[in-house]
C-alpha cells in the first residue's frame, strides 16, 4: 500500500469544469488508487481561467499547507492552454517565451521540493471559438498554438528529467475526446472526457511508479 498526499495544481481542465460528477480527472485518479487499496489524499487546486502567471504566484503557499512534513507528498501540474488564449482587448494572454519561463520557474522549484509530474494542455474544439465563459468575456483558443507550447513544454521537461504527459498528442484527433468536447462547451469536456484523461494518465508509467 502506498500512502501519498498529492496536490494537483492548474486550470479549469484540471479542476473539472463541466463534469456533472464534480470529479475531473484528478478525482477519478484518486478514486481508482483508493479502490486499489492505497492511502491517497487528493487536493484539486485547479482554478478556472488561470495562466502560468497566476499559478506561479500561488502554487507554493497552497501546496505547503497541504503537504506538511513528514508525510509523503507529491505534485502534479497541468497548465498552459489559457496562456495561449487571445482576448479582443489584449491579444495573447501570456506570450510563449514568458509561459516557458514561468513553467521553468514553477517546475524547477517544485522538483527540488517534492516528486513532480507534469500534464500538458489539452486540445479544444475549434468550431466553438471564440469561447465566452460569461457576459463581456471572450477568449479565442487556437490548437496550433497549444500544440506548439506543449512541444516546448515536453522538451523542457526532458531537459529537467521531469515526466511529461502529452495530453495534446493523446487527445487530438481522438473521437472520444472530440465527442466529449462537443457535448460540453468546446473547451471543457463532459464527464466522459475527464474519465478518458484519467484512464490515460492512470496507465502512464510515471504515474504508476508512484503506486506500483
- For residue 79, give the C-alpha cell: 497548465
pLDDT tens per residue across span 55-69: 999 999 999 999 999
pLDDT tens per residue across span 125-164: 999 999 999 998 999 999 999 999 999 999 999 999 999 9
Average pLDDT over the chain, rounded to whole? 97
Instruction: Name the pTM for this structure.
Output: 0.98
Instruction: Write down the pLDDT at residue 52.
Output: 98
CA-based end-to-end distance of the chain: 9
Contact 94, 52 (CB under 8 A): yes
Instruction: Write down the pLDDT at residue 206.
Output: 98
Instruction: Write down the pLDDT at residue 18.
Output: 98
Give every residue of the chain whose pLDDT is below 70, as ranges.
none
Instruction: Write down the pLDDT at residue 122.
Output: 98
Going from the N-terminus, what domains does the chain have, and what CATH number goes with each? Answer: 3-208 (3.40.50.1110)
H or E element that contains 42:
strand 39-46
37: Cβ–Cβ under 8 A, 6 or more apart, which residues?
1
Q: Could you give the C-alpha distances from 19 to 46, 169, 184, 191, 192, in angstroms and in order?
A: 13, 22, 9, 5, 8
Bridge pairing between strands 91-92 and 86-87: antiparallel
Instruction: Write down the pLDDT at residue 197.
Output: 98
Q: Could you give the C-alpha distances from 90 to 85, 139, 180, in angstroms and in order?
A: 10, 11, 30
Amino acid at each position: 500500500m502506498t500512502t501519498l498526499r498529492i496536490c494537483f495544481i492548474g486550470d479549469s481542465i484540471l479542476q473539472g469544469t463541466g463534469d456533472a460528477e464534480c470529479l475531473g480527472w484528478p478525482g477519478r485518479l484518486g478514486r481508482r488508487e483508493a479502490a486499489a487499496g492505497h492511502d491517497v489524499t487528493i487536493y484539486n487546486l485547479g482554478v478556472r481561467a488561470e495562466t502560468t502567471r497566476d499559478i506561479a504566484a500561488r502554487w507554493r503557499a497552497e501546496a505547503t499547507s497541504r503537504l506538511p512534513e513528514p508525510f509523503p507528498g507529491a505534485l502534479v501540474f497541468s497548465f498552459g492552454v489559457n496562456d495561449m488564449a487571445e482576448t479582443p482587448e489584449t491579444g495573447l494572454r501570456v506570450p510563449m517565451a514568458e509561459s516557458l519561463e514561468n513553467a521553468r520557474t514553477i517546475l524547477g522549484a517544485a522538483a527540488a521540493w517534492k516528486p513532480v509530474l507534469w500534464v500538458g494542455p489539452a486540445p479544444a474544439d475549434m468550431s466553438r471559438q471564440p469561447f465566452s465563459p460569461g457576459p463581456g468575456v471572450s477568449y479565442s483558443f487556437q490548437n496550433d498554438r497549444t500544440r506548439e507550447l506543449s512541444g516546448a513544454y515536453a522538451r523542457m521537461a526532458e531537459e529537467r528529467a521531469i515526466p511529461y504527459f502529452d495530453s495534446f498528442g493523446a487527445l487530438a484527433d481522438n473521437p472520444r475526446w472530440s465527442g466529449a468536447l462537443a457535448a460540453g462547451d468546446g473547451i471543457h469536456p463532459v464527464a466522459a472526457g475527464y474519465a478518458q484523461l484519467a484512464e490515460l494518465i492512470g496507465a502512464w508509467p510515471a504515474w504508476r511508479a508512484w503506486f506500483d
